[in-house]
Amino acid sequence: MSEHPLIALPTGPPGNSVIGGLSTVEVRWILPGQLDAAIAGWFRRFLAETESREDAYLIHPDLRGLSVKIRAGRALEVKLCHGCPGILDEAGRARGRLESWRKWSFPFGRPGPYGAGPSAWTVVHKRRRISQFRLASGRIMAGIPGRATEAACAVELTEVSSGSETWWSLGFEATGPADLLRSTLQGTAALVFAQALPADVEFGMSHCQSYADWLSRRDSPARVRNSRRAEARIRTGPGGRTPHEQRGTPWLI
């Protein structure tokens, strides 16, 4: 199995995928506050699927360059950052650091005893709208189906909450042949940002960060309470619907 939070899991022999992992190039911006309706409308011009889920992130100890999470209670996912292959610069609209990642995913079952304390994990609620882009005949096309091994980029607009805090995020993730990852992401970003952003919105370097970086920088009293909740859920194991899911809160857009 291989980790792929934005688009469908690639098919293939599970053993080889676990050993080799999945290479991606990504860029993400995370901003504080509620997702603005104007941004939602700007993104709506692309066909998208919606998804709601809860992820539990390991936040202690601070593992620089490594992200560990339990995705929707179903998979243990590990991501290793391999550095910054460049800067994405869409003049006046978006500027951010590209990051190269290697990812692995493993089936998650009820864990046995371990030493992590209650504050080691934190729960992040995500409500996502995900649009798919593929490289076809030398051009980036929106919503074009293809094989998992082909060059592709998923773009997500996400409402994020953790504890009492609300944030929102725009993220790009390119997959496929290693030599096409960066160009596929840049081509997708050029298409997405071709239409001007709503007034007073700009995706800048100060908000460019991965979820792992964002969590490591947060310092909220709600973190410990949220971490205990995450720990309880991890010990219980998957199954049933979470209180967040039971509320059935609709996607913002």
- Rounded Cα distance between 224 and 137, Å, is 50
CA 171 to chain centre: 7
Residue 97 CA, distance from chain mean position: 15
Beta 121-136 vs 22-32: how paired, if at all? unpaired
**Residue 181, SS3 per DSSP:** helix
d(CA 135, CA 152) in angstroms, rounded, equals 6
Residues 156 and 108: beta-carbon distance below 8 Å: no
d(CA 200, CA 246): 35
Q: Tell me how far CA of residue 213 lies from CA of 23, 59, 137, in angstroms.
A: 19, 10, 36
Distance CA 2, CA 106 (A): 8
pLDDT tens digit at each of 253 positions of the chain = 333 444 333 333 333 344 568 999 999 999 999 999 999 999 999 999 999 999 999 888 777 888 999 888 888 999 999 999 999 999 889 999 999 999 999 887 654 444 444 568 889 999 999 999 999 888 999 987 667 789 999 999 999 998 889 999 999 999 999 999 999 999 999 999 999 999 888 899 999 999 989 988 875 444 444 444 544 444 444 444 433 333 333 333 3
Spatial distance between the Cα atoms of 47 and 129, rounded to a whole number of angstroms: 9
Q: By the 8 A CB rule, do 95 and 207 touch?
A: no
3 state DSSP class of 155? strand
For the chain, what are the domain ranges? 14-236
What's residue 66's pLDDT? 87
Q: Cα 16–20–23 angle (5° rounding)?
A: 130
Beta strands in the chain (DSSP E): 22-32, 49-58, 66-71, 75-81, 86-90, 94-107, 121-136, 139-142, 152-162, 165-175
CATH 2.40.320 for domain 14-236, yes or no, is yes
- The three-class DSSP label of residue 205 is helix
